[in-house]
Structure 1
Amino acid sequence: MLGLSFNKFSGSLRLPWKFSLFNLEYLYLHSNQLSGKIPNSITNASKLTILEMSKNSFSGSVPDFGNLRLLRRLIFSDNSLSGSTNSPNQELVFFSTLTNCQYLKLLDVSGNPLNGILPPSIGNITTSLEVFWAHNCNIKGIIPSGIGNWSSLRYLYLDQNQLTGFIPPTIGKLKQLQILSLYENRLQGYIPLDLCRLSNMGNLYLNDNILTGPIPECFGEVKSLRDINLGSNMLNSTIPSNFWNLGDLLFLNLSSNSLSGQLSSQISSLKVINQLDLSSNQFSGNITSSIDGCQSLEFLSLSNNKFEGFIPPSLGNVRGLSTLDLSNNNLSGSIPKSLENLHLLRYFNVSYNKLEGEIPNGGPFVNITAQSFVNNSALCGVKRFQVPPCIEKNTRRSRQKNIARLMKYILPSFISVIILGTIVILLLMRRRKTKRVPTLDDDISLGISWRRASYIELLRGTNGFSETNLLGKGSFGSVFKGTLSDGLNVAVKVFNLQLERVVRSFDTECEILSSVRHRNLVQIFGCCTNLEFKALILGYMSNGSLEKWLYSENYCLDLIQRLKIAIDVALALEYLHHGHTYPVVHCDIKPSNVLLDEDMTAHLGDFGIAKLFDEGETMVQTKTLATIGYAAPEYGSEGKVSRNGDVYSYGILLLEMFTGKKPTDNMFNGEMSLKDYVHEALQENVVSEIVASNLLAREDQHFGAKEECVSSVFSLAIKCLTISPEERINIIETVAALKRIKAKIVANTARPLEDNRY
C-alpha cells in the first residue's frame, strides 16, 4: 500500500514506461495538486485493487484501465479529465474497457468534463458493481438501458449532467438499489412505474428535469423510501392517496410543478417527516388541521398555491417547526395565537394572503420582521410589523345603549333628512353635471391595496426632496428616503419628466409592480401622479444596494452572505419567469438594482425597462437599451428580449459578486471579458487567485470546501452565459443548483474536516 493523499504534491505524475510494482495493491493519491496526464504505465501495476486519484488537476483523456483486472475501487473524480475524443457527441469508450474488471465494486468519475455519451456497452461492466458516481460530468445523450444489468448496484448517481430522453424502465431491475440520483438533467416523459419494483430504494432524486404526467400511485408501496425530491418538473396530477402510506418518509419535495387537488387529512400518517415542500403548485382547499400529526416537521412550505380558509391553530402543536411559509395563497381569518408556541421558529411568512386581525407578538414573533406580513387584508398589531394598531371595541352594554338612543330620538329625524336630501340631489343632477379639474395634489391608486399619498405628503416626508434624503440616482430619476404621515419609512422614486421615455418607464413599473408579489421583489405601496409630477412609493431598504456592499471599503460580505443574496435574486427571477400569470423579463439585472433590507434579504427592483409578456409569448423585439456589460449578446445585436436574456445577465452578476470585478473593468478589453477571465481560471484550476478579497484564505481550515464552493458558483455562472440563448440553463435549474451549493458549504463548514465520503 502506498498512501500519499492530503499533501501538496504538484506537477505531473512521472512514471517510467516500464513502471511495475507487482505487489502494489492500494495506491492513494487523492487531495493533492497533481496535474498533467495520468500515465498509461500506471496500468502495469496489475495487482492494484484500489486506485484513488480524486481531487487533483489531472487532465487529458481517461486512460484504458482494462488491464487492472483485479480493481475493486477506481476513483478519479474532481479532476479535469475528458473522454477519449474531442467531439462532445462521441461515446466515452473508456467505460467499455472496464468490462475486463470483473471485481469492480465502486467507480467514481464525477466532476470531470467528460463531454460525451454513455456507450450502450456500459451495461456489460461487471454485475459486481455496487456504486456508480458520474455526476457533474457534462454527459449527454440517453441513459443506456443496459444499466439494468448491474444487479448488485446500490448507489447510482448521474445527476447534474445533460442527459436527455426517458428514464429507462430497466432501472426497475436493480433490486439492490438504495439511492437513485438523476436530478438536474433534461430527462422527459413519465416517471416509469418500474421504479416501484425497487423495494430497497431509500432516496429518489428526479428534481430539475422535464418530467411530465402523474406521480406513480405505486410509490406508496415502496415502504423503504425516506427521501423523495420530484421538484422543478412538469408533473400535473394530484398526490396519490396511498402516498401517505410512506410512514417512514423523512423528506418530501414536490415544489415547482403543476400538481393540484387538496391536502389530504392522511398527511398525519407521516409521523417522522422532517421537511415538506409543496410550494409553487396549484393545490387548493383548506390546510388540513390534521397536519399536527407530523410531529417531527421542521420545514414546511405551502407557498405559491391556491390554499384558502383559515390557518389551522393545530400548527402550533408542531413544536419543532423552524420554517413555515404560507405566503402567496388565499388564506383568510387571523393568524392563530397558538403559533406563539413554536419556540424554534426562525422563518415565518404569510405575506400576500387575505389575513386580518391581530398579529401575535409573543414567542418567536419577537424576531419576525414586517416583510412576513405584507399585502394582507386587514392585519393589525405593534408598530414594528408596519401595520395599523389594533383598535379596542366598545363593550356590548354601551353599544346596546347607543343603539337604543339612536332608534328612539335620532333615527326618525335622520330618515326625513335623507329623503329631503335625495330629492334635492336629483333635481340638481338634472340641471347639470360637473367635472372637477385635477390639481397638483391629486394621485392615482392603481390597486385596492395601494397607498394614497399626495404630493404635499411626499414633499414633507422627504424634507422637500432634499439632498440629505437622497438615496441614489438612476437613468429615469432619483430615489429619496421618506416618512409618510403614519410614520412608515419608504423610498420615493421621483421620475424626471424632462427625459425621454420617462412616462413609459413609469407606466411600465406601475403595471408590473402592481401585479407581482414576492418576498424578493421590492414592495410597492402606491404612487402619486399628475401632469407635473410622477413618483412611486416603494419599500425602504435600509442596507442599500448590493453595489455598495461590493465596492465600498466600509462594507464587506462573506461567502455565505453572497450565496444567500445570489439565491434571493434567483428566486425573484424564478417567480417573474415562471411563477407569474404571464412571464416578466426584467431586462436590467445588475448590482445597483439589487437592494438589501434590514435582514440582508435581497430584493430585485427597478422595472423601468422590464417586459410583461402576453400569453404564449417567449420573445419580443425592443429598442430599449440595457446596461452595457450585463446585456445578453442577442439583446444588443438583435434587440431580442426573452427570459434567457435575464439568465445571461444573472450569470454576469454571479461572476461579479464572487470576483469583485465589474464586467466593464479596464482589464476587460476586446480580447478578454469577465466570462473569459473566470473560464480560464476554472480551466487552469486557479480559482483562488481570482476571487474577491477576503473570501478565501489558505490558513482557513475550511479553505478547500470554500474554494470548491466558489468553483461551483463560477461553473454555474458559465452555464448561464452560453452564447446561444436556447442552450442556457433556465432560472429554475439555477435556483436548485445554488441551493445545493449553499447546503453543501454550510454542511462542510459546520463540522470538523473529515474524509468519510465512501
Structure 2
Amino acid sequence: MKMMELSANQFSGHLPSTIGLSLPNLEELYLGNNRLTGVIPSSITNASILTILSMNTNYLTGAVPNFGNLRLLKRLLIGENNLTGESSSPELRFFSSLTNCRYLELIEVSLNQLNGILPASIGNFSISFQVFRAFGCRIKGAIPNEIGNLSSLADLYLDNNQLTGFIPKTLGNLRRLQRIYLEHNKLDGYIPDELCHLSNLGDLYVSNNTLYGSIPTCLGELKSFRRLYLDSNKLESTVPLNLWNLKDLLELNLSSNRLRGSLPSEIKNLKIVNKLDLSQNQLSGDIPISVGGMQSLVSVSFAHNKFQGSIPESLGDMRSLESLDLSYNNFSGLIPKSLETLNYLQYFDVSHNRLEGEIPVGGRFANFSAQSFVQNYALCSETRQQFQHCGKTVERSKSKNMVALMKYILPPIIAVILATSITLLMIRRRKSHRQLPKSENALGLACRWISYQELREATNAFSETNILGSGSFGSVYKGTLSDGLDVAAKIFNLQSERVTKSFDIESEVLSTIRHRNLIKTIGCCSNSEFKALILEYMPNGSLEKWLYSHNYFLDMLKRLNIAIDVAFALEYLHHGLPFTVLHCDLKPSNVLLMKIWLDTLAILV
C-alpha cells in the first residue's frame, strides 16, 4: 500500500495504534474531513517514506507528535483539530522536529489549541518550504527573526493568534513572499520599510494590532499589491500619495487609525478597486469629483471623518456600488439625485452631517430607513413622516446659496459699500416699523396675525390655570386657537423698556430663522399696549422637568440625542444665517421636547 485516500467521509473512532507499523511502504495518507478522535499514534513515524500526511478537520486530541523521522515528508496537514503543544514546555517543539524533513513544502496546523511559542528553529526548515499556515492556534510570543531564512516562503498565515513584539524586518529577505497574514494579534511598533523589498507581495493584512507611526511611503511602489489591510491600528500622518497609484489594487482598508489630510484627485487611479474603507480617521477636505472614475467599487466608507463640502454628483457613476457610508462628517448641500441610478445599492448612510433639501425618492432610496438620514442640517421629505416637508426648506436653501454666492464673488472692497447700505437700510426699516398702524403684523408676512380677542379666548382670559411658565419678560400661557391648534402664547411685560426691546428683537429674529430644533413661530399679536408671540406648543414639556422630576426618566441615549439637537440648533444660529444669533439664556427650562419615545427631538426656545 503506497497511497490511502479516505477523506471526506464519516469515519469515527481512534486511529489504530499500529498504523505506521502495518503500512511501512505508505507514501500518501489522506484522512481529512472525517470524525476521527483520539491521539495521532506515535507509530505513524515508522512509515518513514511518507511524503503527504493529511488529517485536517477531525476531532483529534493530545500533543502533536515528533515527526522528525518522516524525512521525506513534503506536506503536513493537521489543521482544524483539538491538538495541543507539549505541556512540559512553552515552546512548540514539534516544529523543531520538522527541521529534519528536508523536502518539506507545506505545514497546516491552523485552528488547533497549540498555546505555545514559535521556536527560532523554524528558520531551519527546508529550502523548499513555501506555505506556513498556523492561524487561530493561540500561538504566543514574538515572531522569530529567523523566519527570514525561509527563502522560498510564499504564504505566511499567522493571523488570529496572540503574537506580540514587532513585525520582523527579516521578512524583507523573503523575495518570493506573496501573502502575509498577521491580523488580529498584539503586534506593535512600526510597519518595517523592509517589506517594500517584497516585489511579489500581493496581500498584506496587519489589521487589529497596535502598530503605530506612518504608512511607509515605499509601499506605494509595490505594484504587485492586490489587497492591503492596515486598519484598526494607531497609524498616523497622511496617506502616501503614491498609494493611490496602485492600479491593480482590489481592496484597500485604512480604517480605524489616526490618519489625516485630504483625498487627492489621484484616487481615481484605483481603477479596479472594489472595496475601499477609510472610515474612523481624521481625514478632511472635499471628496474629489474624480472619485466617480472608480467604476469597479462595490463598497466604500468615508464615515467618521471630517470631510466637508458637497457630496459629489460623480458618485452616481459607480454603477456597481452596493454599500455607501458617508455618515458622521460635515457634508453639506443636497443629496445628489444621481445616486438614484445606483441599481445595486443595498446600504446607504448619510446620517450626522449638515445636509439639506429633499431626500431622493427614486431608485433604491425607498428601501432605506430614516436612520440613514437622521441628524442632518435640514433634510426634508414629502413621503417620510420623520422629516419636515420641503416647501420652506427649499426657500431657505435658495436664500443660503445666494448669500454664499455674494460672499465669494464680490470683491472685498464691495463689502464696505455693502455694510454701509445695510446700515442705511436698517435705519429706514426701524423708522418704518415705528410708523406701522396698531393693527399691522410686527413680523411682516412671515407668520400669522392673531387678534387680541382671539388670543384672550384661546387662553381662557389668560387664566392662571393656563400658565406654562413666567420670568422677567412676562408669562407663557397655553391656549387653543379657534381652529383647534394648541399654542404657547408668550405675553411680554411692557412696563419694562428692556422687555419691549426684547420683543422687537425676537420678532425680527424669529421671522428669519427656520430649523427643526428651534421653536416655530405660529403668529403674533401686537399693539401699543399689548405684545405677544404665539409659539408652537410642546406637550412633553421642558428638559428641566424630565431631568429633575421623579416621575420622568431619560436614558443615556435620549440625553445624548437631546444634547446633539441643542448643539445643531446653536450651530445653525451661529453659522447658518447671514448674521450671527447668540442665545443668551441656554438652560434646561428653555429646551422643549417634541418627541420622547421614538426619535427624541429637542427644541430650543
Q: TM-score, normalised by structure 1?
A: 0.57
Cα distance per residue 1:575-595 (max 9 Å; x no partner): xxxxxxxxxxxxxxxxxxxxx
What is the DSSP-based 3-state SS (H/G/I as helix, E as strand, rest coil) of the residue aligned with 2:53? strand
TM superposition shift of 1:368:
2.1
- Is 2:544 the counterpart of 1:506? no
CA 496–214 in structure 1, closer or farther in 2 if over 3 Å, else same: closer
Q: Distance in 2 between matches of 1:452 and 1:70?
A: 83
Q: Distance in 2 between matches of 1:300 and 1:418?
A: 58
What is the DSSP-based 3-state SS (H/G/I as helix, E as strand, rest coil) of the residue aligned with 1:141? strand
Q: Distance in 2 between matches of 1:297 and 1:123?
A: 41
More strand as a share of residues: 2
Q: Distance in 1 between matches of 2:387 and 2:248?
A: 42
TM superposition shift of 1:540:
6.3
Cα distance per residue 1:222-241 (max 9 Å; x no partner): 10000000000000111101
Q: Distance in 1 between matches of 2:208 and 2:519?
A: 43
CA 455–5 in structure 1, closer or farther in 2 if over 3 Å, else same: farther
In the alignment, residue 11 of structure 2 is paired with which amino acid?
Answer: F
In the alignment, residue 149 of structure 2 is paired with which amino acid?
Answer: N
In the alignment, residue 185 of structure 1 is paired with which amino acid?
Answer: N
TM superposition shift of 1:266:
0.4
The equivalent of 2:192 in structure 1 is 192
Q: Distance in 2 between matches of 1:162 and 1:511?
A: 39
- Is 2:589 the counterpart of 1:539? no
CA contact (8 A) 2:540 2:595 kept: no
| 1:660-739 paired onto structure 2 within 5 Å | none
- Is 2:472 the counterpart of 1:434? yes
- Is 2:16 the counterpart of 1:2? no
Cα distance per residue 1:333-383 (max 9 Å; x no partner): 111111122111111111100001112211222322221111111111232
Q: Distance in 2 between matches of 1:329 and 1:222?
A: 32
> Which runs of 5 or more structure 1 residues have no equivalent in the other structure?
397-406, 422-432, 443-447, 460-492, 518-527, 542-758
What is the DSSP-based 3-state SS (H/G/I as helix, E as strand, rest coil) of the residue aligned with 1:204? strand
Between 236-245 and 178-187, the greater mean CA deviation after superposition: 236-245
Q: Distance in 2 between matches of 1:335 and 1:250?
A: 28
In the alignment, residue 415 of structure 1 is paired with which amino acid?
Answer: H
CA contact (8 A) 2:538 2:593 kept: no
Identity within the alignment, %: 51
The equivalent of 1:164 in structure 2 is 164
| 1:87-98 paired onto structure 2 within 5 Å | 90-98=90-98
- Is 2:86 the counterpart of 1:84? yes
- Is 2:474 the counterpart of 1:415? no
Cα distance per residue 1:574-623 (max 9 Å; x no partner): xxxxxxxxxxxxxxxxxxxxxxxxxxxxxxxxxxxxxxxxxxxxxxxxxx
What is the DSSP-based 3-state SS (H/G/I as helix, E as strand, rest coil) of the residue aligned with 2:554? helix
CA contact (8 A) 1:99 1:126 kept: yes
Q: Distance in 1 between matches of 2:13 and 2:563?
A: 58
Q: Distance in 2 between matches of 1:363 and 1:298?
A: 17
Q: Distance in 2 between matches of 1:341 and 1:227?
A: 29
The equivalent of 2:108 in structure 1 is 108
In the alignment, residue 372 of structure 1 is paired with which amino acid?
Answer: S
Pick from 41, 44, 63: which aligns with 2:46? 44
TM superposition shift of 1:420:
11
Q: Distance in 2 between matches of 1:179 and 1:385?
A: 51
CA contact (8 A) 2:79 2:110 kept: yes
CA 60–49 in structure 1, closer or farther in 2 if over 3 Å, else same: same
In the alignment, residue 472 of structure 2 is paired with which amino acid?
Answer: T
CA 144–322 in structure 1, closer or farther in 2 if over 3 Å, else same: same
CA contact (8 A) 2:64 2:86 kept: yes
CA contact (8 A) 1:373 1:385 kept: no
CA contact (8 A) 2:289 2:314 kept: yes
Q: Distance in 2 between matches of 1:50 and 1:151?
A: 22
TM superposition shift of 1:320:
1.2
The equivalent of 2:71 in structure 1 is 69
Q: Distance in 1 between matches of 2:315 and 2:182?
A: 34
Pick from 48, 56, 65: which aligns with 1:54? 56
CA contact (8 A) 1:495 1:534 kept: no
Q: Distance in 2 between matches of 1:216 and 1:360?
A: 42
CA 496–26 in structure 1, closer or farther in 2 if over 3 Å, else same: farther
In the alignment, residue 38 of structure 1 is paired with which amino acid?
Answer: I
The equivalent of 1:315 in structure 2 is 315
CA contact (8 A) 1:494 1:536 kept: no
In the alignment, residue 382 of structure 1 is paired with which amino acid?
Answer: E
TM superposition shift of 1:110:
0.2
The equivalent of 2:506 in structure 1 is none
TM superposition shift of 1:417:
3.7
- Is 2:303 the counterpart of 1:303? yes
The equivalent of 2:236 in structure 1 is 236
Q: Distance in 2 between matches of 1:510 and 1:439?
A: 27
In the alignment, residue 84 of structure 1 is paired with which amino acid?
Answer: E
TM superposition shift of 1:282:
0.3
TM superposition shift of 1:37:
1.0
CA contact (8 A) 2:20 2:45 kept: no
Q: Distance in 1 between matches of 2:337 and 2:554?
A: 41
TM superposition shift of 1:271:
0.7
- Is 2:163 the counterpart of 1:148? no
CA 416–364 in structure 1, closer or farther in 2 if over 3 Å, else same: same
CA contact (8 A) 1:227 1:250 kept: yes
TM superposition shift of 1:510:
5.0
TM superposition shift of 1:415:
2.9
Q: Distance in 2 between matches of 1:420 and 1:457?
A: 32
- Is 2:336 the counterpart of 1:336? yes
CA contact (8 A) 2:7 2:33 kept: yes
CA contact (8 A) 2:84 2:114 kept: yes
Q: Distance in 2 between matches of 1:62 and 1:391?
A: 73
| 1:477-492 paired onto structure 2 within 5 Å | none
Q: Distance in 1 between matches of 2:63 and 2:150?
A: 25
CA contact (8 A) 1:494 1:534 kept: no
The equivalent of 1:743 in structure 2 is none
Q: Distance in 2 between matches of 1:206 and 1:335?
A: 35
TM superposition shift of 1:319:
1.2
Cα distance per residue 1:440-463 (max 9 Å; x no partner): 999xxxxx865879997459xxxx
What is the DSSP-based 3-state SS (H/G/I as helix, E as strand, rest coil) of the residue aligned with 1:58? strand
Cα distance per residue 1:687-728 (max 9 Å; x no partner): xxxxxxxxxxxxxxxxxxxxxxxxxxxxxxxxxxxxxxxxxx
CA 202–434 in structure 1, closer or farther in 2 if over 3 Å, else same: same
TM superposition shift of 1:390:
1.6
Cα distance per residue 1:546-566 (max 9 Å; x no partner): xxxxxxxxxxxxxxxxxxxxx
Cα RMSD of the aligned pairs, angstroms, is 3.3
In the alignment, residue 537 of structure 1 is paired with which amino acid?
Answer: I
TM superposition shift of 1:289:
0.4
CA contact (8 A) 1:8 1:33 kept: yes
What is the DSSP-based 3-state SS (H/G/I as helix, E as strand, rest coil) of the residue aligned with 1:176? coil
What is the DSSP-based 3-state SS (H/G/I as helix, E as strand, rest coil) of the residue aligned with 1:384? coil
| 1:231-380 paired onto structure 2 within 5 Å | 231-380=231-380
TM superposition shift of 1:8:
1.6
Q: Distance in 2 between matches of 1:418 and 1:162?
A: 80
Q: TM-score, normalised by structure 2?
A: 0.70
CA 455–411 in structure 1, closer or farther in 2 if over 3 Å, else same: closer
CA contact (8 A) 2:347 2:368 kept: yes
The equivalent of 1:27 in structure 2 is 29
Q: Distance in 2 between matches of 1:144 and 1:449?
A: 60
In the alignment, residue 512 of structure 1 is paired with which amino acid?
Answer: L
Q: Distance in 1 between matches of 2:594 and 2:153?
A: 63
What is the DSSP-based 3-state SS (H/G/I as helix, E as strand, rest coil) of the residue aligned with 2:268? helix
> Which runs of 5 or more structure 2 residues have no equivalent in the other structure?
399-424, 440-470, 479-486, 489-514, 521-535, 566-586, 601-605
The equivalent of 2:580 in structure 1 is none
Q: Distance in 2 between matches of 1:100 and 1:348?
A: 56
Cα distance per residue 1:483-538 (max 9 Å; x no partner): xxxxxxxxxx9899558xx7xx6385554344579xxxxxxxxxx9879x999714
The equivalent of 1:179 in structure 2 is 179
